[in-house]
Amino acid sequence: MSSGIIIAIIVVVVLIVLAVGVWMAVRRRHLRERFGPEYERAVEAGDSRTAAERDLRDREQRHDDLDLKPLPSTARQQYAQEWNGLQEHFVDRPREAVGEADQLVTRLMKERGYPTEGYEQQVKDLSVEHGRTLEHYRAAHEVNARAGGQQTTTEELRGAMVHYRALFDDLLTNGDRPGQQHA
């Protein structure tokens, strides 16, 4: 082979390697932007960055297949009123109010079109559009799980309500980003 052909082959190989590298960087940036803090959590919990990114892409695909719908304004108002009622009940019955907050968030998820069977799957489904408030949901869920056994303080229960509120608000406003419209 002539040196010109060898150089051409090397140039083509280098260009392919660079193109693959750029493509992977773009995909990684997309996942980081879409999932927010959930991206780093998945990478830390996964066997490798590649496996974590594959899992996140699978979550995106499942999410795309869901029939998610925005809430009409009347439903948003009704949910907001229910939440206000929960906050009032918290003063007299904090443990029960936290359990009711969990149920209200689950009901809201279901009305929006999210499957609600199984906490782990809920977290995965929510992570695609609500990754920035997902840690709140995890924290609230953990306190709620302990609340039944009287292993929580009133301050922890108050914190759980604040955490549930973060996801509740995100779901209630349809996870809108600035500039998006409500239905």
| pLDDT value, residue 126 | 93
Q: What is the DSSP string of 44-74?
A: HHSSSHHHHHHHHHHHHHHHHHS---PPPHH
Mean pLDDT in residue range 75-82: 95
Least confident residue range of 47-51, 82-86, 105-109, 137-141: 47-51
Query: pTM, whole model, 2 decimals?
Result: 0.78
pLDDT reported for residue 30: 83
Query: What is the predicted pLDDT for the residue at 132?
Result: 86
The reported pLDDT for the residue numbered 178 is 35
Query: Which residues touch 140 (CB under 8 Å, ≥6 apart)?
Result: 98, 101, 102, 159, 160, 161, 163, 164, 167
Q: Average pLDDT for residues 146-168, to the nearest whole number? A: 90
pLDDT at residue 175, as a whole number? 52
pLDDT at 91 exceeding the cut of 70: yes
What confidence category does residue 110 fall into, taking pLDDT thresholds of 50, 70 and 90?
Answer: very high
Q: Check whether 124 has a pLDDT greater than 60.
A: yes
What's the sign of the alpha-carbon dihedral 38, 39, 40, 41? Answer: positive
Label residue 143 by pLDDT band (50, 70, 90): very high
In this model, does residue 34 exceed pLDDT 80?
Answer: yes
What is residue 182's predicted lDDT score, i.e. its pLDDT? 36
* pLDDT of the residue at 40: 86
